[in-house]
DNA sequence: CTGAAAGCGCTTACAG
DNA sequence: CTGAAAGCGCTTACAG
């Protein structure tokens, strides 16, 4: 059934089908697309011919004529980050069946690669684009306007007149911070992503605001947003500030890295250091201890972003203001009171 | 620089460039592709015109003429599985720069979806295909031959004359099983993937062979290869066989599920139940206890599979026998002796 | 309800 | 070293 052009027989085209059915190529096209009027008799003849000659549509010919490919790009910074893997899944689910292909592109969080990937995507004349811009991205409104239907997901870019879908990061990160403050912590390290990313800025703002309200000194650490990067950053943080009793993890890989760093230092969670993560992951629910975390509704975000692209493709207006999807604090068991004042129990190296 | 066809100005074509440079369209094409002889003067004129009119190549036109799109499909069963995410990354790294786009396709391990996705990919007349077939896949050698350069990764299909890249699963799973037998375990549950998948069959064979050699009774459980599925399966297994003291995890999500299931049952690892996983994940290295696991060299597998596709695309011969990449047992801390004979210490519910 | 003509953007022979 | 012609597979106006 799915036999394609091998190296062997030349593949059938609408012309082959037309000849076989004794009709014109346009009639074949009409039957195949289901548009316009075709008599039942003709339709049956064409369908029989399609099966007989083993015709398989050529999307390239169609795209060239239509001046548009039914394909939407999803440009992200790292498919290894489960958040983006989940995002891909939920977006793809919306597009599947609507005849839109989702094309995954990785920027590796590098702005040069980002531009290359976008050029590549653009060469296919796609119908739309979903993008989480790289750090210090040089993308402009003009660049994105070229894609017709462009929507930012998760990360935004300053001064870009493009719709976006984000989590209520300042509020959610503030709540996460207050969760630790409320347990009695004062020395709370925020292990963030790359300086310059909107996600870092927004989560940092929520953290700083909560710390300021509590008159606690903010302790901010930037990372490359990966587990190994966060692991190293946490160790440095602990050495520079031995009094740290709690940490906030920027995303799932960073939260992983924090746990690895704590282990490196012989520190227990939550007895020595409490932890609240941002963005849930399956293992966090049963990790000992289960990790308290701000869950980002990634499926909702993906669905919403996909629908916005669909609306733009259909020419419907979409509000340029950020579409904010609320995160939820899941209280599990990684937050406890700070260790007692007895310095021998603090376990600093 | 990356300004594309907006809704606005009609996009520049080779003709636009040709007119602006005062040359023919073919000359523009030659300059752009870097083939054939072009005088330096002409080249400079063309390049200037390209910049002046903001020309952006149209891959659709090129593909139609070439009867082939410089695109390779990667059809996998679940991008949420970190193994496949890592595979995508390593394959993409090989293709990038070679002018080949990698198109990620998800089958959700469903053979109908698999066929749809392959039809979709085929409609673009791609240059090649990397595929981990769905359970009970109906793909034939003919289906895959249509893609010219087709290579199976991770999973294979019986009676398919197509090159493949796999791990030495029987040997590696045998070694994992012996690791548990050697620690004194006899009641070892193998929590596998879907019945019918080659990966399940190959890992099961290694497990059964090792158990037979030790005259231990095999305890096999099939799952849908996800964390929640494995979690449920493990609980059932523990209830049906209260004497189980060790488990083997089919892949990273299943290993996660096993740990969740143990926690559900109030069982500790490794004091109550020892565990060896198959396929490493970052969190396993610092999970308490760090998980002993067979590491699959996913980057090597991806690179090798990508190179095989490249060879096939270039018309070079590729051995149809499976290309076997060896896994490595990483000994960490999730294996201990089985709990003592005192039944009150077994912690069964 | 159906068909003849034209053209989407590009590149491949074929000439000079 | 360069160009005029033709065509990849499809669909869009335009006729009937």
Strands A219-221, B126-131: pairing is unpaired
Give the span between the Cα atoms of A156 and B192, in whole angstroms. Answer: 42
Give the span between the Cα atoms of A160 and A230, in whole angstroms. Answer: 30
CATH hierarchy code of domain A69-167+298-326: 3.40.50.2300
Residue bearing tokens 């549950």: B189
Element (H, E) at B21: helix B14-21
Superfamily classification of domain A14-57: lambda repressor-like DNA-binding domains (1.10.260.40)
DSSP string of A52-116, one letter each residue: HHT----HHHHHHHHTSEEEEEEEES-TTSHHHHHHHHHHHHHHTTTT-EEEEEE-TT-HHHHHH
Record the tokens describing residue A167, joined without a space: 């989590």
**Residue B286 with chain A: CB contacts under 8 Å:** 256, 259-260, 263
- For residues B206 and B177, the answer to whether their CB atoms sit within 8 Å is yes
The arithmetic mean of pLDDT across residues B3-28, rounded, is 76
The pLDDT tens digits for A220-254 are 999 999 999 999 999 999 999 999 999 999 999 99
Q: Is residue B190 pLDDT above 60, yes or no?
A: yes
Residue B338: left if φ>0, alpha if ψ -120 to 50, beta else—which one?
beta
The pLDDT tens digits for A112-171 are 999 999 999 999 999 999 999 999 999 999 899 889 899 999 999 988 889 999 999 999
Residue with smallest Cα–C1' gap to D8: B65
Among A3, A89, A147, whose Cβ lies nearest the Cβ of B79?
A89
CB pairs under 8 A between A and B: 145
| Confidence category of residue B40, pLDDT binned at 50, 70, 90 | confident
- For residues B293 and B327, the answer to whether their CB atoms sit within 8 Å is no
The CATH topology of domain B69-167+298-325 is Rossmann fold (3.40.50)
Start-to-end CA span in chain B (Å)? 66
Residues 7-46 of B with CB under 7 A from strand C: 10-11, 13-15, 25-26, 28-29, 32-33, 35
**How does B153-184 read in b/e, with b if 16+ C-beta sit within 10 Å?**
bbbbbeebebbbbbbbbbbbbbbbbbbbbebe
> pLDDT value at position B181?
98
> pLDDT value at position A216?
97
Among A5, A145, A260, whose Cβ lies nearest the Cβ of B286?
A260
Residue A217, Cβ neighbours under 10 Å: how many? 11
Helix B40-53 vs helix B25-33: crossing angle, to nearest 10: 100
Boundaries of CATH 1.10.260.40 in chain A?
14-57
Which residue of chain B has the CA closest to A124?
B59
> pLDDT value at position B99?
84
In the predicted model, what is the mean pLDDT of chain A? 91
> pLDDT value at position B172?
98
Length B25 CA → D6 C1' (Å): 14
Give the span between the Cα atoms of B284 and A281, in whole angstroms. Answer: 14
> pLDDT value at position A10?
64
| Confidence category of residue B9, pLDDT binned at 50, 70, 90 | low
Boundaries of CATH 3.40.50.2300 in chain A?
69-167+298-326, 169-296+330-340
Residue bearing tokens 């096999």: B220
Shortest distance between the Cα of A41 and any Cα of chain B, in A, equals 27
Among A56, A60, A120, whose Cβ lies nearest the Cβ of B60?
A60
Residue A19, Cβ neighbours under 10 Å: how many? 16
Q: Is residue B169 pLDDT above 90, yes or no?
A: yes
Residue B189, judged by CB atoms within 10 A of its CB (0-12, 13-18, 19+), counts as buried
> pLDDT value at position B347?
44
Across the interface, whether the CB atoms of B6 and A253 are under 8 A apart is answered no
> pLDDT value at position B315?
86
Give the span between the Cα atoms of A94 and A104, in whole angstroms. Answer: 15
Strands A328-330, A126-131: pairing is unpaired
Q: Using DSSP, state whether A138 is helix, strand or coil.
A: coil
Q: Is residue B348 pLDDT above 70, yes or no?
A: no
The pLDDT tens digits for B92-148 are 999 987 889 999 999 999 999 999 999 999 999 999 999 999 999 999 998 998 898
- Which of A196-205, A264-273, A335-344, B112-121 shows the lowest per-residue confidence on average (mean pLDDT)? A335-344
Across the interface, whether the CB atoms of B125 and A5 are under 8 A apart is answered yes
> pLDDT value at position B3?
37
CA-CA-CA-CA dihedral for A118, A123, A128, A134, to nearest 10: 0
Give the span between the Cα atoms of B63 and A5, in whole angstroms. Answer: 15
The answer to whether strand C lies under 7 Å from the CB of residue A35 is no
Residue B218: alpha-carbon gap to chain centroid = 28
Length B25 CA → C16 C1' (Å): 17
> pLDDT value at position A9?
60
Boundaries of CATH 3.40.50.2300 in chain B?
69-167+298-325, 169-296+330-340
The pLDDT tens digits for B242-275 are 999 999 999 999 999 999 999 999 999 999 999 9
> pLDDT value at position B155?
94
The pLDDT tens digits for B137-168 are 999 998 998 898 999 999 999 888 899 999 99
Give the span between the Cα atoms of A339 and A327, in whole angstroms. Answer: 29
Record the tokens describing residue A17, joined without a space: 């089908």
Q: Is residue B222 pLDDT above 70, yes or no?
A: yes
> pLDDT value at position A97?
78
3-state helix, strand, coil in chain B (%, to 5): 45, 15, 40
**Residue A1 with chain B: CB contacts under 8 Å:** 115, 143
Q: What percent of chain B has pLDDT over 90?
A: 77
> pLDDT value at position A343?
46
Interface probe for B, chosen from A286, A289, A291, A334 (most Cβ of B below 10 Å), is A286
- Which of A10-14, A143-147, A230-234, B76-80 shows the lowest per-residue confidence on average (mean pLDDT)? A10-14
Q: Using DSSP, state whether B70 is helix, strand or coil.
A: strand
> pLDDT value at position B340?
78
Q: Which CATH number fits domain A169-296+330-340: 3.40.50.2020, 3.40.50.2300, 3.40.720.10, 3.40.50.720?
A: 3.40.50.2300
Record the tokens describing residue A232, joined without a space: 């190293």
> pLDDT value at position A326?
97
Q: Is residue B346 pLDDT above 70, yes or no?
A: no
The pLDDT tens digits for B290-340 are 999 999 999 999 999 999 999 999 888 899 889 999 999 999 999 999 997
Residue A196: alpha-carbon gap to chain centroid = 18
- For residues A242 and A189, the answer to whether their CB atoms sit within 8 Å is no
> pLDDT value at position A344?
46
Residue B311, Cβ neighbours under 10 Å: how many? 15
| Confidence category of residue B7, pLDDT binned at 50, 70, 90 | very low
Give the span between the Cα atoms of A100 and A72, in whole angstroms. Answer: 7
- For residues B84 and B132, the answer to whether their CB atoms sit within 8 Å is yes
Q: Is residue B53 pLDDT above 60, yes or no?
A: yes
């Amino acid at each position: 059934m799915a036999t394609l052009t091998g190296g062997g027989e030349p593949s059938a085209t609408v012309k082959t089908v037309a000849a076989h059915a004794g009709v014109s190529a346009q009639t074949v096209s009409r039957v195949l697309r289901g548009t316009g009027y075709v008599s039942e008799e003709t339709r049956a003849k064409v369908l029989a011919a399609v099966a007989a000659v083993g015709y398989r549509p050529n999307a390239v010919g169609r795209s060239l004529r239509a001046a548009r490919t039914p394909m939407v790009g999803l440009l992200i910074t790292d498919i290894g980050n489960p958040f983006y893997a989940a995002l891909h899944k939920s977006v793809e689910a919306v597009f599947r069946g609507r005849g839109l292909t989702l094309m995954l592109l990785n920027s590796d969080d590098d702005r040069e690669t980002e531009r290359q990937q976008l050029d590549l995507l653009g060469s296919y004349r796609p119908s739309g684009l979903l993008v989480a811009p790289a750090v210090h991205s040089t993308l402009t409104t003009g660049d994105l306007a070229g894609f017709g239907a462009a929507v930012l997901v998760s990360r935004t870019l300053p001064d870009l007149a493009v719709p976006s879908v984000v989590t209520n990061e300042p509020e959610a990160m503030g709540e996460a911070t207050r969760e630790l403050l409320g347990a009695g912590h004062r020395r709370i390290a925020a292990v963030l992503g790359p300086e310059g990313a909107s996600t870092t800025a927004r989560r940092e703002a929520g953290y700083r605001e909560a710390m300021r309200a509590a008159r606690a000194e903010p302790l901010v650490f930037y990372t490359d947003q990966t587990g190994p990067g966060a692991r190293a950053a946490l160790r440095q943080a602990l050495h520079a500030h031995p009094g740290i009793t709690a940490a906030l993890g920027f995303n799932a890989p960073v939260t992983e890295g924090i746990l690895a760093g704590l282990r490196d230092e012989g520190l227990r969670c939550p007895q020595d250091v409490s932890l609240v993560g941002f963005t849930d992951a399956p293992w966090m629910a049963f990790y000992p201890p289960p990790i308290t975390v701000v869950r980002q509704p990634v499926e909702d975000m993906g669905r919403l972003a996909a629908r916005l692209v669909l609306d733009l493709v259909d020419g419907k207006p979409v509000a340029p203001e950020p579409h904010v999807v609320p995160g939820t604090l899941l209280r599990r068991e990684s937050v406890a009171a700070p260790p007692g004042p007895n310095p021998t129990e603090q376990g600093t190296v």
